Chains A and B, each alone.
Chain A
Amino acid sequence: MSSKITRRRVLHGMLGGAAISVGLPLLDCFLDDKGTAFADGAPLPVCFGTWFASMGWTPTFWEPEVVGTKDPMKQMKPLLKALEPFQGKINLFSGMQAFLDGRPMATHETGAQICTTGSIPVGNDLDVPSIDQLAANSIGTRTRFRSIEVSYEGVPTSWSRRSSTSINASEVSPLALYRRIFGPQFTDPNSDTFTPDPAVMLERSVLSTVTDQRASLIKKVSASDRVRLDEYFTSIREIEHELDVQLQKPMPMVACSKPEAPPDGPHGQAMDLVIANGKLFSVLIAHALACGQTRVFNAIATMGASSVHKVGSEATFHIDTHEEAIDPKLGYQPETHWYMARCLDCFADLLKQLDSVREGPRTLLDRTVIYGSTDHGYARLHTLANIPLLTAGAANGRLKTGYHLAAPGDTTARVGLTVLQALQLPVSSWGTMSNQTSRPFSELLV
């Protein structure tokens, strides 16, 4: 660890005595002996993620028979078989609904927007942040990356947004994500030595001159454009922040290790590729969280009316949900279930990666909470009732797990509010109009 070098001091030296207005202290804390907290007793920071796979789950084929807390997960239905190893670390929520309030529904889109923002858009107008960005405002401000977004199926969009004009793009290439996080700018938090990079200092100083233009430029645009311009300056400040973090000795992260670079493989909507890239992304997300590079992530397996398909098949996941025959013996659409199960395999793989990172007696998954949502309750009919939702991870002990809670007709926002409160955000309600709620699942909150 560096001794008394501060960024202020270094910049002072590098820039020939010019005054530096931004100074961030070095963090010199260490983990305690158990590896679960810093030396001053503060726990390792909580992490948050969202998981999204479109098309929902076929009603009656996923809900546990038992509701409540008494071993509700002991008999997971076949569709959720992949989640069996984690039944004690997840919660399932059934019966929940997204409300349209008389507005038109964009199929495979509106439901997802309600689940991720608690609100229904009017046209393109949805000026509320998504749940991950709300969380990032609170827990994502001290890491290099405020949040990271990935798409397993190669479609570079996401549900993550600061507003309707500022929608985060998903990374579709595992190698590109690796280079962004673990490329030359990555600093091993457990390294004994730390030397601030003069090139980063210079970059940071130059970049600050951009944000200094704000006051003069903001006067030249209309009120609505001011919002967008301010979003741009916020983004630039986030890069400045990213550079600031690079100029500090990072706090040690006991479980941090730099992963192997993933192969430069293809990405696309063949299910095999979705699964393969999902595995690579899971590894990178786990390492990024373990190394403190970010505390918020958004992962999408399939997006909306997805064109994900089996190699050689004429139909797609989406087409199958509508056109595949229901097997009279099984009672469901077998091909459609196959896609749903493969998406759950991807999710289980993400949980496995997080749960394999041991931090003392607990795991990375234990200090994380993942909110899983989808677009429809029954995609075959485009319903917004009985939308399957779940959480995984214990939010650093703030969220009980192993529950199946049924809340027929309740807004899906109840799960989001529960998660936000588990993250200790000061929110008493979430959502708007009929999707608004001030009733978290308090039985889950510790």
Chain B
Amino acid sequence: MGKLMSQKMISLLSSSLAVATLFAGTAQAAPKPTPATFEAAGPVVATGPALLRRLSPDQYRQTIADIFGSDISIGGRFAPEIRDSGLLAVGAGNQSITADEADQYHVMAQTIASQVVDKSHRGVLIPCRPVSDTGADDRCAGQFLAEVGELLYRRPLSKDDLQLQVHIARMAALQEKDFYAGLRESLAQMLVSPEFLFRWSEVQGPLGGEGVSTLDPYARASELSFLLWNSAPDETLLNDARHGKLNSPKGLAREVDRMLASRRLNAGVRAFFSDMLQFSCAENPCLDATFAKDETVYPRFTPQVAADAQEQTLRTLVDLLITHDGDYRDVFTTPRTFLTPDLAAIYGVPLPRDSPNGEPSGWEPYVYPAGDPRAGILAQVSFVALHSHPGVSSAVLRGRALREVILCQKVPDPPPNVSFKLVLDTTNPNYPTMRSRLDAHITNPVCAGCHKLMDPMGLVMENFDSDGSFRTRQNGVLIDTSGSLDGKKFQGMPGLDQAVANDPAAPACLVSRLAEYALGRAPTGDETQWVANLKKDFVADHYRLRPLLRQIATSDVLYRVEWKGVQANSAVAPSSTVASR
């Protein structure tokens, strides 16, 4: 933080302490990183602005679990995130923290800190014992707070920061006559600090003027870690940052390969697809995407089914893309998936149970027979149920989601003053099915332009009711699942799946989304060419996700930012940076 405590702070917390001697012998007080020399990994392109990004709820939860263990409950609630350009990760760069949210973070901070220092956790989580449980102990407090602070802030605490935290711990310990109460208050303070709640793009000089700069080593570590693991950097990564190992293309690539080989990559991949596929709408209903179903119409669709549905898709994706290093296009046609008994009941398929004594099993791998309309992720409950109304399926919502979520093609909002008079009567025997009603609707030329983008694909999914269950008839009439995608006609879900898999827009969309997810914003300037190159290389790499992630994570673009009067990290030697275009 490079700034001394304010006079107010000092007066607030001052006591008879000999401040200067607080940290003698403290384990990790303000280590100095190795002076950095950054080398560009390839062709240098113009770049976009630095971004302050809010930790997502998942990143918050994952970070707390990684640092303190998964048995620490969060308490409180997270406010809905803002989706921008199709991604919450982009919205996080445009979202601040409201008073209500700050209140919730405050509650969570107190809840988490109380558990960390309670009697059942302190022995494991606090690396030292105080001289007395009923008083202050600056040495032990300093050791704990330095270690935890580095993991929370994703960089070592400066000397001033650590002094402040130990002061807080001391004052609270004296106040409450409890060493651990002091740690609790200091930890809670760090948990509401902007240095924890936001991801900082701390830049490395040169000071003065404007131009392009590069992230400092610890900011590089954070970029990597949140992209690939959806969590804060681990000790190895922070150590690599400390020793300058992330500064060279070779060192960076070595670290990226370590992270790509880790099982924690699954968490990063799951986070990305959860964002892209709008699974956050399960927790906080979105206006046109919801897992909320009318329980009298769909009694089998429980909250557990909604949770399982998302898990099914994420397992399918990780299995194909990571475990089997497969072709992304196959996610739309793959017969391989995983089911729970509840999900199998929705899909209407028998699920062999391997568990003993006939006990219900958890997740079981399942392979659909060839040509089954339930193959591929578009037929999964997580897609067809999410993009439906609570009491009825919706070809329009599904068609729109396919365009916007899977193909990255924006469908315009409907114009004002549209007449719906041609589909007024849902009981009209002339319009017994969704197809017939929509056909009538799009005879209106004002509506036809957009509905032709959505309906021919959405109607193919009409074999799936709002809860995702399979059906062949609606109101007694056989459902017509013929359809088309941009002029290519097909029959049924297998045809749609194959058409999407063959559409170059689908893998191109994945690359665009992943690039934006990594940057936290839309590409600007030359970055659009960088994304175009990523798309070409994705094709050349046979549409495999790991090489794409590797290319993004090792790209100079991820670590370069426009620099306009932003104070550089003074802890890193500014004169040694490379800032050439």
- Chain A interfacial positions (CB closer than 8 Å to B): 14-16, 18-21, 104-108, 124, 146, 149, 154-157, 162-169, 176, 180, 198, 202-203, 205-210, 212-213, 215-217, 219-225, 227-229, 231-236, 238-239, 242, 268-270, 303-307, 309, 311-316, 319, 322-326, 380-384
Contact = CB atoms under 8 A, between A and B. Distances in A.
A242 B103 contact: yes
Contact of A303 (B198, B287, B297, B564): B287
B415 interface: yes
A208 B296 contact: no
B391 A309 contact: yes
B580 interface: no
Nearest to B9: A212
Interface centre among B82, B185, B197, B294 (most CB of A within 10 A): B294
Interface stretch (B243-251, B304-312, B350-358, B417-425): B417-425
B96 A323 contact: no
Interface in B123-180: 164, 168, 171-172, 174-176
B189 A162 contact: no
Interface in B10-41: 11-15
B208 interface: no
Contacts of B15: 16, 18
A210 B84 CA distance: 29
B217 to A, nearest CB: 15
A165 B390 contact: no
Nearest to B90: A124
A323 B202 contact: no
A165 B106 contact: no
17 contacts: A15-B12, A19-B11, A107-B413, A107-B416, A205-B13, A210-B194, A216-B2, A219-B567, A220-B202, A235-B98, A312-B391, A322-B423, A323-B426, A325-B424, A381-B417, A382-B417, A382-B418
B416 A167 contact: no
Contact of B94 (A165, A315, A326): A165
Interface in B384-435: 389-392, 412-420, 423-426
Given A202-B185, A228-B96, A235-B101, A222 B564 contact: yes
A122 to B, nearest CB: 13
B261 interface: no
Nearest to B286: A155
Interface string B90-134: 000011111111110010001000000000000000000000000
A205 B12 contact: yes
Contact of B98 (A155, A168, A326): A168
B8 interface: yes
Contacts of B189: 206-207, 209-210
A373 B416 CA distance: 19
Contacts of A325: 424-426
A322 B95 contact: no
Given A217-B194, A314-B392, A315-B391, A322 B413 contact: no
B193 interface: yes
Contacts of A306: 287
A163 B82 CA distance: 13
B97 to A, nearest CB: 5
B281 to A, nearest CB: 10
Contacts of A242: 103
DSSP majority for the B interface?
Answer: loop
A183 B98 CA distance: 21
A229 B186 CA distance: 22
Contacts of B549: none
B419 A381 contact: yes
Contacts of B172: 202, 206
A206 B95 contact: no
Contacts of B414: 107, 382
A162 B101 CA distance: 13
Contacts of A305: 287-288
Contact of B84 (A124, A381, A383): A124
B347 interface: no
A383 B392 contact: no
B202 A108 contact: no
Nearest to A100: B416
A236 B192 contact: yes
Contacts of A162: 98
B200 interface: yes
B285 interface: yes
Contacts of B564: 222-223
Closest 6 CB pairs of A and B: A216-B3, A169-B79, A231-B96, A235-B102, A314-B392, A225-B52
B420 A313 contact: no
B122 to A, nearest CB: 20
A313 B294 contact: yes
Nearest to B8: A21
Contacts of A228: 52, 94-96
B49 interface: yes
B266 interface: no
Nearest to A303: B287
B290 interface: yes
Contact of A238 (B9, B102, B168): B102
B294 A323 contact: no
Interface string B74-96: 00010110101000000000111
B566 A220 contact: yes
A386 to B, nearest CB: 12
B284 interface: yes
B51 interface: yes
B367 interface: no
Given A235-B102, A269-B292, 7 more contacts: A163-B96, A203-B110, A235-B96, A270-B294, A311-B296, A315-B389, A315-B426
A202 B5 CA distance: 18
B55 interface: no
Contacts of B2: 216
Given A155-B285, A235-B98, A238-B102, A220 B567 contact: yes
Nearest to B466: A314
Contacts of B426: 315, 323-325
Nearest to B97: A232
Interface in B34-71: 49-52
B296 A166 contact: no
B407 to A, nearest CB: 21
B6 interface: yes
Contacts of B420: 322-323, 380-381
A385 B296 CA distance: 37
Contact of A312 (B175, B296, B417): B296
Contacts of A124: 82, 84, 94
Nearest to A220: B567
Nearest to A219: B567
Nearest to B200: A220
Given A124-B94, A225-B52, A168 B292 contact: no
B50 A222 contact: yes
A308 B285 CA distance: 12
B342 interface: no
B412 to A, nearest CB: 7
A154 B52 CA distance: 30
A155 B424 contact: no
